[in-house]
Amino acid sequence: MIFEGEELVCVRGERPVFAGLDFRVGDGEILLLEGRNGAGKSSLLRICSGLLKAAGGRLLWDGRPADEDWDEHHGRLQYVGHQDALKPVLTVAENLRFWARVNGVRVSAGGVDKALERMDLRDLATVPARFLSAGQRRRVNLARLLATPARLWLLDEPTTSLDTVASAMLAEVVRDHAAHGGMAMIATHLDLGLAGARRLALEPYRLAV
């Protein structure tokens, strides 16, 4: 399976962010997005998820335009954005179970428990999310990736507020995902130590004179 973008153009508030951008991710590949603030890393991930419409260009999944059926495209991706999307009054496990169900995953299959285990959240499972630290909240958000399997991971600064142990945990999870044939596009400033990951450098757009 190949996910690719061709000649993508992104415009935010009449200001061009990038233009003519191409990328390509295949099975088991990790693509790291690099670039200065405002280079369009987040915008590219949001375009890939379908949250943001590209002003031009095409998104292709296995050669077929992704915008043919957005619901189908959404079904094969998981997105981690800047916000953790946790409900403060629900416990960690309840939050995760909700996201699993919304994505059509059977909770009884035990995926949620495994995800909690994997992100070292076992002891926090019954704690309401409002008592979590920023790093713990981020880990719950990342556990969502494990609780609801998806082919394509779009991670926007996933290491925000994670400590070194948790960052290593995340790198391990991403490596595992790729090893099982998954794809990931990650915008990050931190070196996650992902051997074999390809890099895509985004340049701030400058008008040609």
Partner 1 sequence: MRALLALLVRDLRLAIRQGGTVGMTLGFFVITVTLFPLGVGPELELLSRIAAGVIWVAAMLASLISLDRIFQADYEDGSLELIALGPTPLELVVLAKALAHWLTTGLPLLVTAPLLAVLLNLPVNGFVALIAAMLLGTPALSLIGAIGAALTVGVRRGGVLLSLLVLPLYIPILIFGVAAVEAAIGGFVVAPHLAVLGGLLIGATVLTPWASAAALRLALE
Residues that bind partner 1 (CB under 8 A): 49-53, 71, 74-75, 77-79, 81-87, 89-90, 94, 98-99, 101-104
| Minimum CB distance to partner 1 smaller for 29 or for 84 | 84
| Minimum CB distance to partner 1 smaller for 36 or for 53 | 53
Cβ of residue 209: shortest distance to partner 1, in angstroms?
30
CA distance 187 to 155: 6
Cβ of residue 207: shortest distance to partner 1, in angstroms?
23
DSSP label at residue 119 = T
Residues 6+ positions from 79 with CB-CB distance below 8 Å:
45, 49, 51, 154, 155, 156
| Minimum CB distance to partner 1 smaller for 23 or for 99 | 99
CA distance 17 to 25: 21
Residues 6+ positions from 120 with CB-CB distance below 8 Å:
139, 166, 169
CA distance 209 to 117: 55
Cβ of residue 89: shortest distance to partner 1, in angstroms?
4
Cβ of residue 53: shortest distance to partner 1, in angstroms?
7
CA distance 177 to 145: 10
| Minimum CB distance to partner 1 smaller for 77 or for 194 | 77
